[in-house]
Amino acid sequence: MKLTICELSYLNELISSCVNTITCLSLFRNQVRDAELKNILDTQFPIHVEDYNLKVEFVKDVEKASGRLNVPQLNTSIFSKDINETQGATPVTVNTNVQTLNDREIALSYFLTLKRAGKEYAIASMEATNPKLRQFLKDAYTMSCNHSFEIYEWMAKHQYYPIIVADGCQTGEIAKIYNVIDL
């Protein structure tokens, strides 16, 4: 089964995205100061390289591509707690003369990269007609979700990303709109 033009186009974009992610992670790993964040980046880096290599395999020879990405389990041991109160974020001042990145800038940049990649994987997987490619893209989506959760939790733990909990009144107003369907 050959790639469709749509699949090839998505793979081209996703490979370019991987080049960017790997390049940025290489920089981030050299500049990060927090040991916990460095460990997260070091653990996630080889999975991004594997993801890139598998995409290249699909483009070079779709029939021979293994298509099996080592999807990491969701790591909830970093911060996970039941969120029941709002936790604000520390104010940020945008640095318009960057020489080096701080840990907050590194984490936010990587987090936003993962979120965007996840959206692209989801869309591409729904358009894929090759079952092996489709499964690979779904796995890559899960990888992005799991990686972004770890970064999100690290940012929340350090109060770099706000957690705003909906109050009972807000939840109640939405809950009143919908009713359970009985079949």
The distance from CA 126 to its chain's CA centroid, rounded to whole angstroms, is: 18
Whether the predicted pLDDT of 153 surpasses 80? yes
58-114 pLDDT, tens digit each? 999 988 888 788 887 887 665 556 666 667 788 888 989 989 999 999 999 999 999
Q: How many domains does the chain have?
A: 1
Query: What global pTM score does this model have?
Result: 0.89
pLDDT tens-digit profile of 10-32?
999 999 999 999 999 999 999 99
Determine the pLDDT at residue 103. Answer: 97
pLDDT of 174: 93
Output the six-digit token pair for 74.
Answer: 């969701």
**For residue 13, is it within any domain?**
yes
How many residues would you count in the chain? 183
Asked if residue 49 is part of any domain, the answer here is yes
Q: Which range marks the domain in which residue 155 is found?
A: 5-91+99-175
pLDDT averaged over every residue in the chain: 91
For residues 4 and 124, give the distance between their C-alpha atoms in angstroms, rounded to a whole number: 12
Residue 121 has pLDDT above 90, yes or no: yes
Contact between residue 18 and residue 51 where contact means Cβ atoms under 8 Å apart = yes
pLDDT at 89 (0 to 100): 82
The answer to whether residue 131 sits within a structural domain is: yes
Whether residue 20 is contained in a domain is answered as: yes
Is 182 inside any structural domain?
no
Cα–Cα distance measured from residue 28 to residue 105, given in angstroms and rounded to the nearest whole number: 9
Q: What's the confidence (pLDDT) of residue 129? A: 95
Q: Is residue 29 part of a domain?
A: yes
CATH of residue 112: 1.20.1260.10
* Residue 122 clears pLDDT 60, i.e. is over it: yes
Q: Identify the pLDDT of residue 166.
A: 84
Burial classification of residue 113, based on how many CB atoms lie within 10 Å of its CB (0-12 exposed, 13-18 middle, 19 or more buried):
buried
Please tell me the predicted confidence (pLDDT) of residue 148. Answer: 95
* Region of poorest pLDDT, from 93-97, 108-112, 121-125, 132-136: 93-97
Confidence at 162, pLDDT banded by 50, 70, 90: confident
Average pLDDT estimate for 116-120: 97
| H helix runs in the chain, sequence order | 5-31, 35-60, 103-127, 131-157, 168-175
Count Cβ atoms below 10 Å from residue 183 Cβ, excluding itself.
Answer: 2
